[in-house]
Amino acid sequence: MSEGVSLLGSMYAAVRALQIYPPGNDAVLGAIAECDELAKAVCTAEGGLSIWTAGHHLYVNDLRIRLDLSDYATVAAFRELIETHGIGRITVDPGVRSEDWTVFLGLLAPARTEETDAPARLLEIQEQLAQAEVTHITLAPPLPLFETGEAESSAARRTYAVSVNALKDLMSNPVMGAAIAGRRAERTVLGIVDQVLADKMSMLGMLTLRDYDDHTYVHSVNVAILSVALGEFVGFDHQQLFELGFAALFHDIGKVFIANNLLNKKGWLNDEEWRQMAQHPDFGFLMLFNVSGFPEPPYRAMIAVYEHHMKVDLSGYPRVIRRRRQGLFAKIIAIVESYDAAISEFNKEFVPASPHDVIRQLRQAEEGTYDPVLVKAFINLMGLYPVGTLVILDTGELAVVVSRSTEPDALGFPIVRLISDPTGKRLGDGPIVDLMHPDPRPGAPQRSIARSADPRRYGIKVSDFVA
């Protein structure tokens, strides 16, 4: 998207001009006008605009800006510039005015060095934007998931970052009746489907990247990944995977109408709070009536969104009077979404369960909650020790599961990465061992899993070894 590069170029030019000239100067006005025009063009074409960083990369909406030699200096300089101001994400809505650009870009003009406190600087800028009543440009810090700064992230990581970001945009317009940008949604879902089909284990590994600040978006992307993986496992074709992925990605979109303090509440909900929370499937259903760019509303997804908390025996919500059957998509989403919720750190107080324990709980769930055939399929897909589980081997070594076994029946014998020796000494990036196929040489260790363990007790971040 050369428009994206041009936009970044004009933003950077405007900042440079503002470093030298007062805001009324022709060079400044010209750069601001260009910037305003390009931003509006992108907003109209894509239903919104966000410029964001992931590691060393810069994205405009879903597209990573490819650096030609001619643009390299500008784009790299722009990325560094916003980074020194603590900005990881600039969201622009279609109502943006040229005055907004002048104020915002003016705030980026003072030279800064990287050592100064970037998060504090971001707060300062946000305050100044609020004072100047700039509401069409909003800023956020870098996504904590992706601040690792690797030069080249894996394809799975890239798809994951793009999806979380897209969902953030797609879910950030909480006006009933506002259209959801269908094209962008479609692109996001296809990205997930294709990446799951290309490399399922890497995508499942992304689930170890936990982030409670963006919980709803991360959860939605995780549920889409898991649903598509399970859909493929039970034999869905590409079109069905797309529809399922779409439903899964938006299963909780109705939550945009639930107050944040309720969504983030720690502990139990009272009756009234519960009643409000339980409305999100109805809201989601209604919202999906209004997806732009599709010839007709995504009916199958709408039904799945409506039914995802219904349970197979209909004892969940929304309550239904007439006898019906929970649909296949909703049954899949119900299983994978409770899996993701249980392993996630959605707030600082909640203790996430080990993936292994959650698999066990799913197996023992009360009859009528989940479809037992699909639960079985899900366990076959994930194995008893899903990717990201920290395990203690019978040799005393610690290991992290990096992949399900390649053998269909070897549910309890995944492929692991060793991370400590039997005395507990850390190995860093230790060797990968297939527990189903031990080293055949005489005297080589025969390893099996003794039990799963809580990574926080050992001070281990499993994502370091998986994602």
Interaction site with Fe ion (CB under 5 A) = 252, 337
Which residues fall within 8 angstroms of residue 301, CB to CB, at 6 or more apart? 243, 246, 247, 250, 288, 329
Query: For residues 224 and 399, which CB has a smaller minimum distance to Fe ion in the complex?
Result: 224
Nearer to Fe ion, 142 or 254 (CB): 254
CB of 270 to Fe ion, least distance (A): 19
Residue found under tokens 């690797």? 150
By beta-carbon proximity to Fe ion, the closer residue of 134 and 223 is 223
Instruction: State the nearest-atom distance from the C-beta of 403 to Fe ion, in Å.
Output: 26
- Give the residue with the Cβ less far from Fe ion, 46 or 252: 252
Cα separation, 5 vs 362, whole angstroms: 48
Shortest distance in whole angstroms from residue 280 CB to Fe ion: 6
CB of 174 to Fe ion, least distance (A): 16
The residues pairing with 58 across neighbouring beta strands, listed in sequence order, are 53
Q: Tell me the closest approach of the beta carbon of residue 451 to Fe ion, in angstroms.
A: 29
State which residue, 206 or 419, has the beta carbon closest to Fe ion.
206
214 versus 252: smaller Cβ distance to Fe ion: 252
Least distance in angstroms from the C-beta of 277 to Fe ion: 9
H/E/C letters for each residue in the chain?
CHHHHHHHHHHHHHHHHHHHCCCCCHHHHHHHHHHHHHHHHHHHHHCCEEEEEECCEEEECCEECCCCHHHHHHHHHHHHHHHHCCCCEEEECCCCCHHHHHHHHHHHCCCCCCCCCHHHHHHHHHHHHHHCCCCCEEEECCCHHHCCCCCCCCHHHHHHHHHHHHHHHHCCCCCCCCCECHHHHHHHHHHHHHHHHHCHHHHHHHHHCCCCCCHHHHHHHHHHHHHHHHHHHCCCCHHHHHHHHHHHHCCCHHHHHCCHHHHCCCCCCCHHHHHHHCCHHHHHHHHCCCECCCCCCCHHHHHHHHHCCCCCCCCCCCCCCCCCCCCHHHHHHHHHHHHHHHHCCCCCCCCCCCHHHHHHHHHCCCCCCCCHHHHHHHHHHHCCCCCCCEEEECCCCEEEEEECCCCCCCCCCCEEEECECCCCCECCCCCEEECCCCCCCCCCCCCCEEEEECHHHHCCCCHHHHC
Identity of the residue, 337 or 371, whose beta carbon is nearer to Fe ion in the bound complex: 337
Q: Least distance to Fe ion from the beta carbon of 382, Å? A: 18
Dihedral sign computed on CA atoms, order 303, 304, 305, 311: positive
User: Cβ 278 to Fe ion, closest distance in Å?
Assistant: 9
User: What is the closest distance, in whole angstroms, from the C-beta atom of residue 223 to Fe ion in the complex?
Assistant: 6
Strand-pairing partners, residue 253, are none
Of the two residues 46 and 337, which places its CB atom closer to Fe ion in the complex?
Answer: 337
Least distance to Fe ion, CB of residue 216, Å = 8
Strand partners, 398: 392
CB nearer to Fe ion: give 307 or 397: 307
Cβ closest to Fe ion, residue 105 vs residue 288: 288
Give the nearest distance from C-beta 163 to Fe ion in angstroms: 15
85/300 with CB nearer Fe ion: 300
